[in-house]
């Protein structure tokens, strides 16, 4: 996706907030390393992690109850496909907008990518250990951006 596209800017400006077990919040930013409070939760230095939601498929606002059901299905899918993964409550935030999400530790990027596609998400934020957080676009978004007609 071109870096000049409005979606690119929106996702880069978003704060990816993770609720910490002992209170407080750590914020993930695209292009930056995980904050120390989250790095300390990784079992190994190259552990994969991701930030994902099932809310508002394809960026279309859905009723709260639909989003709750979708998040429940996402949690179940993660427990099934990545039974050793740890899930932490999270929230994507930009201005007054908030979207329930999950910070997932120790699920492969391929599992996260499959779930992004399954739940019709535009993108996920993911990384490995202390490497910078990367924005990973869905195939659907890549297709639309390559051929907007």
- pLDDT (tens, 9 = 90+) of the chain, 149 residues, equals 455 577 888 999 999 999 998 899 999 999 999 999 999 989 999 999 999 999 999 999 999 999 999 999 999 999 999 999 999 999 999 999 999 999 999 999 999 999 999 999 999 999 999 999 999 999 877 555 555 54
13: left (phi over 0), alpha (psi -120 to 50) or beta: alpha
- Domain count along the chain: 1
CA 139/CA 149 separation, integer angstroms? 16
SS3 labels along 126-143: EEECCCCEEEEECHHHHH
Range of the domain at 42: 6-146
62 in a domain, yes or no?
yes
Query: Is 1 within a domain?
Result: no
Domain membership of residue 37 (yes or no) is yes
For the chain, how far is it from start to end, CA to CA, in angstroms? 15
Is position 107 within any domain?
A: yes
Assigned domain for 34 exists: yes
């Amino acid at each position: 996706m071109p870096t000049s596209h409005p979606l690119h800017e929106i996702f880069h400006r978003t704060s990816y907030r993770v609720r910490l077990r002992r209170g407080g919040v750590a914020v993930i930013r695209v292009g930056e390393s995980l904050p120390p409070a989250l790095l300390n939760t990784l079992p190994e230095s190259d552990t994969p992690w991701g930030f994902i939601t099932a809310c508002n498929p394809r960026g279309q606002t859905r009723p709260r109850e639909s989003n709750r059901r979708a998040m429940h299905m996402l949690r179940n899918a993660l427990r099934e496909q990545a039974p050793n993964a740890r899930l932490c409550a999270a929230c994507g935030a930009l201005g007054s907008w908030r979207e329930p999400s999950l910070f997932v530790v120790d699920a492969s990027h391929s599992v996260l990518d499959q779930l992004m596609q399954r739940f019709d998400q535009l993108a996920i934020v993911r990384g490995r250990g202390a490497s910078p957080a990367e924005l990973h676009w869905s195939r659907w978004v890549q297709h639309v951006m390559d051929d907007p007609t």
